[in-house]
Amino acid sequence: MSTMRNLSFDAIIIGGGGSGLRAALELAKSGKKTAVLSKVFPTRSHTVSAQGGITCAIASADPNDDWRWHMYDTVKGSDYIADQDAAEYMCTEGPKAVFELEHMGLPFSRFDNGRIYQRPFGGQSKNFGEGGQAARTCAAADRTGHALLHTLYQNNLKNNTVFLNEWYAIDLVKNAQGDVVGCIALCIETGEIVHVKSKATVLATGGAGRIFASTTNALINTGDGIGMALRAGFPMQDMEMWQFHPTGIYGAGTLVTEGCRGEGGYLINKDGERFMERYAPNAKDLAGRDVVARSMVMEMLEGRGCGENGDHVMLKLDHLGEEVLQKRLPGIVELSKTFAHVDPAKEPIPVVPTCHYMMGGIPTNVHGQAIMQDGDGNDQIVNGLFACGEAACVSVHGANRLGGNSLLDLVVFGRAAGMFIEGALNEGIDYLAASQSDIDASMARLNRWNESSGGEAVAELKAELQDVMQNDFGVFRKEENMQNGVRKLSDLRERIANAHLSDKSNTFNTARVEALELDNLLEVAEATAISALERKESRGAHSRYDYPDRDDVNWLKHSIYFPVEKRLGKRDVNFTPKTVDTFEPKVRTY
C-alpha cells in the first residue's frame, strides 16, 4: 500500500448535523484549526427532518415560564434516569442557545408581539406538573430542523469552518495509552484513505434508527460513531432505550410531528374513539411518547386498530381547519399527501409507533467528554474523545425523551463541547502520537472488506438484522424473544465478518460505504439487544411483559454496556443539580 496522507487538526468533528455544526461553529469562531468531516453534505444530515420544534423556556408564549418547570418535565419524562445536573444545564443554558440561533437568522414563526412562536408538546407542564399544559416548543412552522440546520451551516460558512464533505470516518485511532488521537477516514469521491490526526475528536454522528426495519430515521442513520466507539472498546450507556414515535406514517415510516397533537390533533381507534382519554386522562394525546406509543399498541392488540389488519390507528387533524394546517403544519400536509395519499384537511392520517430516537449512546459529562469506567466502577474521562447530540448520552433523556428536547440537546451540548475543547486547547493538549501498529489496527476492517472475495451480500444481511430488531426488540419486549434475538445477532456477527464487498472501485463507491455501515449497525444492534435483555424492569421506553413494573430498588441506574466482555453493568444517575432541589422519583402518570 502506498503511503497514507495525514491531515492534522486541533479538533475534528465527525458528523455535520445540528450538534456537530454547533460545536464546529464555536471552535471556528475561536480560530482553532477545526474541520467537520461528514459522510453527506451537511444540510443532508438527519437534523433536517426534525419538524415540530425546539423546547425551551424562553417565556414567549407564557411570560412566567420557568426553566425549572422544563427541567421537572424532562426528568419526569425520562422516568427519572436523566442525570439531573445535565438536565439542569440544558434547561438553564437553553434560552441562550436558542436566542443565539435566532440572532444567526433562524426563521422562527412569530406571535403577534414579534416574539418566537411556541406550541404545546407532549409531557409539558407549568408549575412542576400542577399548572396544566405548557406551550414551550419554539417552532419554524413544522420545518424547525431544516431551518436550524441550514442556519448553522450558513453561519459555519460565515466563519470559514473547514468542511470535509462526503468523507466517511472508518475507525478511531488510539495511541498506546488508550487516548483517542484521530481517525481513519475515506474520501468517498476519490476513495483516498487518510489518517486524520487531531487533539480532540468529536463524535457527532447522530442516531442509528436504521437498526430497525421500520423507522422515521434517514437512510444514513447507521450509528457510525457508536460503532467506532464500541470497536475501540469504549462503553455505551442506556442502549436499551429506544423511542418509538407514536406517529410514523403507516407503511412508509415517515414522521408526523407531535406538533400535530400540540396544535389540537388527536388519535382515534377504529370506533372513532379518542382513546388517549382512557390512558392519560389529564394530558391525553400529549402524554409522554412512550405512554402514547404503548397505548396505541394496546388498542391494536385489543382489536381496536384500524384497517383490514387492525395494525394502525388514525391521527385526526381535519377539525383544525385548512388555515391552521397551512400556516402551522404545511410540511405535514405535503408528507401526508405524498406518503399516505391523504389530505389531512379532509381525512385522518394512518399512523403507527415507529422507531425514532436513541436515548442511549456514548456516556459523556456536560462538556461532551466521553466517559468510561475504571476497574472499580468509577467514572474515568477518555482522553481526546468527545460526543454530542444523539450519539451521546449526557444523559438528559434517560429512558424517554420529550418531544422538542433533541434539538435543544444538539445546540446546548454541541456548544458546550465546543467551548470546553477551546479551553482545553488553550491550556494545551499533548498526547502520545499513534504508532504504525495503532494505525494498522484502525485499518483492519476496511482491509477485511477490501480483501473479501466471496460471501453473503450486504443488503440481505442488513435486512435480516433489521427484522431481528423489529421483531424481538420493539415497543413491548419478552425475555424469550430477546434471547433469540441475541442469538441471531451473534450468528449475524459471524456472517457479516465473512460478507462480500464485490465492488472494489474507488470513485464514489457507495457499496463500500454501505458495507462499512453494516458493521456499525451490527455493533449498535448487539449493544441494544444485550442491554435490553439484561435490564429486568420496565422503565420509559423499555417495556417488558415479564417485568412490567419499574424497579427503583435495583434499576434507578444507567445501564452501561462493555463491548469487549459483552457485559452489562450499572452506573449511578446524578441526583444532585447545583441550583435546585433534587426531583425525587415519583409514580409517573399523565
Partner 1 sequence: MLQVSIYRYNPETDSAPYMQEFQVDTQGRDLMVLNVLELIKQQDSSMAYRRSCREGVCGSDGMNINGTNGLACVTPLSDVVKSNKLVLRPLPGLPVVRDLVVDMGIFYKQYERIQPYLQNDTTPPAIERLQSPEERDKLDGLYECILCACCSTACPSFWWNPDKFVGPAGLLQAYRFLADSRDTAARERLAELEDPFSVFRCRGIMNCVAVCPKGLNPTRAIGKIRELLLENAT
Q: Which of 335, 372, 412, 424 binds partner 1 (CB under 8 A)?
A: 335
Q: Which three cell numbers stand for residue 295?
A: 397505548
Look up cell 400536509; give the residue: 333
**Do the strands 180-187 and 369-373 form a parallel or antiparallel pair, or are they unpaired?**
unpaired
By CB under 8 A, tell whether 111 contacts partner 1.
yes
Q: Which three cell numbers stand for residue 22?
A: 454547533
Q: Which of 146, 284, 316, 367 binds partner 1 (CB under 8 A)?
A: 146
For 58, half-sphere exposure in the C-beta direction (CA atoms, 13 angstrom radius) is: 24
Closer residue to partner 1 (CB): 140 or 268: 140
By CB under 8 A, tell whether 169 contacts partner 1.
no
State the minimum distance, in angstroms, from the CB of residue 116 to partner 1: 5
Which 375-404 residues touch partner 1, going by CB under 8 A? none
By CB under 8 A, tell whether 186 contacts partner 1.
no
Closer residue to partner 1 (CB): 183 or 458: 458
d(CA 206, CA 371): 18
By CB under 8 A, tell whether 45 contacts partner 1.
yes
By CB under 8 A, tell whether 103 contacts partner 1.
yes
Q: Which of 43, 452, 481, 589 binds partner 1 (CB under 8 A)?
A: 43
d(CA 424, CA 418): 10
State the minimum distance, in angstroms, from the CB of residue 166 to partner 1: 9
| CA torsion through residues 176, 182, 183, 187, sign | negative
d(CA 196, CA 135): 45
By CB under 8 A, tell whether 338 contacts partner 1.
yes
Q: Which of 5, 8, 64, 110 binds partner 1 (CB under 8 A)?
A: 110
Compute and round to an integer the Cα radius of gyration of the chain: 23
40 marked ligand binding residue: yes
Look up cell 447530540; give the residue: 389
191 marked ligand binding residue: no
By CB under 8 A, tell whether 29 contacts partner 1.
no
Q: Which of 127, 502, 554, 582 binds partner 1 (CB under 8 A)?
A: 502
- The stretch near partner 1 (CB under 8 A) out of 36-44, 126-134, 295-303, 388-396 is 36-44
Closer residue to partner 1 (CB): 248 or 363: 248
d(CA 457, CA 18): 33
Does the active-site annotation cover 289?
A: yes
Nearest to 529 by CA among 464, 478, 572, 582: 478
Give ∠ CA 505-507-509 in degrees, rounded to 5.
65
245 marked ligand binding residue: yes
257 marked ligand binding residue: yes
By CB under 8 A, tell whether 35 contacts partner 1.
no
311 to each of 122, 306, 531, how far by Cα in Å? Answer: 23, 6, 28
**Do the strands 162-165 and 180-187 form a parallel or antiparallel pair, or are they unpaired?**
unpaired
Closer residue to partner 1 (CB): 58 or 385: 58
Peptide bond into 490 cis (omega under 30): no
23, 415 contact by CB (below 8 A): yes
By CB under 8 A, tell whether 116 contacts partner 1.
yes
Is 234 exposed, middle or buried, given 0-12, 13-18 or 19+ CB atoms closer than 10 A?
buried
By CB under 8 A, tell whether 322 contacts partner 1.
no
d(CA 300, CA 294): 10
Name the region of 131 (left: φ>0; alpha: ψ -120 to 50; beta: rest). alpha
Site string for partner 1, 507-526 (x = CB under 8 A): xxxxx--x------------
406 marked ligand binding residue: yes
**Do the strands 313-316 and 167-174 form a parallel or antiparallel pair, or are they unpaired?**
unpaired
| CA torsion through residues 11, 12, 16, 17, sign | negative
- The stretch near partner 1 (CB under 8 A) out of 272-280, 331-339, 442-450, 473-481 is 331-339
Site string for partner 1, 443-482 (x = CB under 8 A): --------------xxx-----------------------
307 to each of 66, 312, 574, how far by Cα in Å? Answer: 43, 7, 45
Closer residue to partner 1 (CB): 334 or 491: 334
Q: Tell me which of 22, 68, 289, 539 is the catalytic residue.
A: 289
Catalytic residues: 289
Binding residues: 15-20, 38-53, 224, 245, 257, 356, 390, 401, 406-407
Which residues make up the interface to partner 1 (CB under 8 A)?
40-41, 43-46, 48-49, 58, 60, 98-99, 102-105, 107-116, 140, 143, 146-147, 150-151, 154-155, 157-158, 189, 218-220, 254-255, 331, 334-335, 338-339, 457-459, 502-503, 505-511, 514
